[in-house]
Structure 1
Amino acid sequence: MSILRLFASSPFESLQELLEKIDVCVSHIKPMVTANIEADFDEVKNHFRLITKAEHEADVVKGQIRGKLPRTLFLPIDRWHFLEIIASADKIADAAEDLGYLLTVRHTHIPETLTPEFVNLMEKSLASYALVKEVVDGFGMLVDAGFAGPIAEEFVQKTVRIDHLEWETDKQMYKLTQHLFELENQISVIDIIMLRDIAREIARLADASESLGKKIRRVLAN
């Protein structure tokens, strides 16, 4: 075990615990959106309830991390950067919860004509999250490597790929929004507004994942 690993494993283990809670939130996004498409609003509410529970647990872990984070020189990265990583990770859980809120506060059904584009948007956002999770899951290797060298460069390239996935998500969001407004004579204005907001929350998962990736890349660049 390296000296960095010896003195600084605890905060990163706590980060893994936080990500486990966040991962539970994200794991309900696809089945929740699918339930909406199938007009199974009871199932939508069930997934939202589970997301809310996991998001609360993530907040508890986040508070514990902030309260226990050492102020010593033995933390292998800047304390402020680590806190930024925690805050960015938490926004992923927030995006999942906010999506669930929109899908339950009103029974706004995703119309069949928009289903492929919503699914495409969701898959792109989930791909962004999956890649940033892969990066965070590898923090143990980064700690052992002192956040430098070939391993660090490999993870930098992964964060660059997250940027590209987020850009792809933005393009899909634009395409979906265009199609949505083409339906203004077929569905209500309220439906259009709600569907646009739902799409934005789905895309926000990619935004939050990109933000977390950039925070990690900043650490690796130092």
Structure 2
Amino acid sequence: MPRIPMLGMLRVSPFDKLLEHAQKTKEGMAILKDCITTYCEGDYDKSEKLSQEIIKLEHEADIIKGNITAHMPKQILLSVDIGVFLRLLNEQDSILDFAENAVVWLHFRQTKVPAEIKDDLLNHLYKVIECIESYEKVIIHVKDIVSFSSSNKMRDQIKENIKEVHLKEWEDDQIGKVFAKKAFNLSIDPLSVYHLLKLGNLIGQIAKHAENAADRVRTMIAK
């Protein structure tokens, strides 16, 4: 299969653009936290404005992704599969995609978040953000790893960080199940229950795609 050429031969490495794309994800997660928190507090107007910032960031990330794929080199000179790289890019892109999906869905209606599940929803969100923060520790060193400038110690640390991403995703999955069970048992109208349940699912998908992206990095290390 085609492989990505030596990084030094490129004017702009695809890995530099990948990190630029990851920075958009990082910015989006910080805004997502504020967006959903303010919604839970009942400040729907502020939350709506924050959601627009996420939508803008997602669009900017899509442009970066498009530039990467449009200028992907074809030479076969380095031990990084282009297919693996593109799957990593797609999974990383899905993180912000689902953040956008979550806030768009959130603002389809103004559902008062019941006190009985407010903490569960926010804990769900915060654990997802922890998962993304763990993923950031993985992706920040990916260029060093594939350019052979990393030490065995760094590779071992990346592997530990990948395990941490998996752990955070698993922990979030457990929190999400607790949230869903409590939401199903709320004494509120069914439409509000559905709105909250789907929101919880969309938030959880963010962590799943971070886990998938981390696995693509693990594949690169193994090559």
Question: Does the 8 A contact of 1:170 with 1:203 survive in 2?
Answer: yes
Aligned to 2:46: 43
For 1:74 and 1:66, the matched residues in 2 are separated by 18
Following superposition, the deviation at residue 141 of structure 1 comes to 2.5
Q: Give the aligned length.
A: 218
> Could you state the TM-score of these two structures normalised by the residue count of structure 1?
0.92
For 1:147 and 1:216, the matched residues in 2 are separated by 14
Aligned to 1:199: 200
Structure 1: which 5+ residue stretches go unaligned?
A: none
Aligned to 2:8: 6
Aligned to 2:190: 189
The AA in structure 1 aligned to 2:208 is D
Q: What does 1:16-165 align with in structure 2 at a 5 Å threshold? A: 16-145=19-148, 149-165=152-168
The AA in structure 1 aligned to 2:113 is I
The AA in structure 2 aligned to 1:201 is L
> Which has the higher mean CA deviation after the structures are superposed, 106-115 or 135-144?
135-144
Partner deviation per Cα, 1:46-67 (whole Å, 9 max, x = no partner) = 0111111110111111010001
Structure 2: which 5+ residue stretches go unaligned?
A: none
Provide the alpha-carbon RMSD of the alignment: 1.8
Partner deviation per Cα, 1:72-113 (whole Å, 9 max, x = no partner) = 123441111111111001000111101111111111222222
Question: What percentage of aligned pairs have identical amino acids?
Answer: 24
Question: Does the 8 A contact of 1:89 with 1:209 survive in 2?
Answer: yes
For 2:78 and 2:70, the matched residues in 1 are separated by 15
For 1:62 and 1:81, the matched residues in 2 are separated by 15
Following superposition, the deviation at residue 7 of structure 1 comes to 2.9
For 1:12 and 1:132, the matched residues in 2 are separated by 15
Q: Return the structure number with greater helix share.
A: 1
Following superposition, the deviation at residue 151 of structure 1 comes to 2.0
Question: Does the 8 A contact of 2:162 with 2:214 survive in 1?
Answer: yes
Question: Does the 8 A contact of 1:5 with 1:144 survive in 2?
Answer: yes
Following superposition, the deviation at residue 17 of structure 1 comes to 1.2
For 1:75 and 1:99, the matched residues in 2 are separated by 38
Following superposition, the deviation at residue 44 of structure 1 comes to 1.3
Question: Does the 8 A contact of 2:146 with 2:221 survive in 1?
Answer: no
> Which has the higher mean CA deviation after the structures are superposed, 146-155 or 197-206?
146-155
1:214 has 2:215 as partner: yes
For 2:111 and 2:217, the matched residues in 1 are separated by 37
For 2:29 and 2:182, the matched residues in 1 are separated by 26
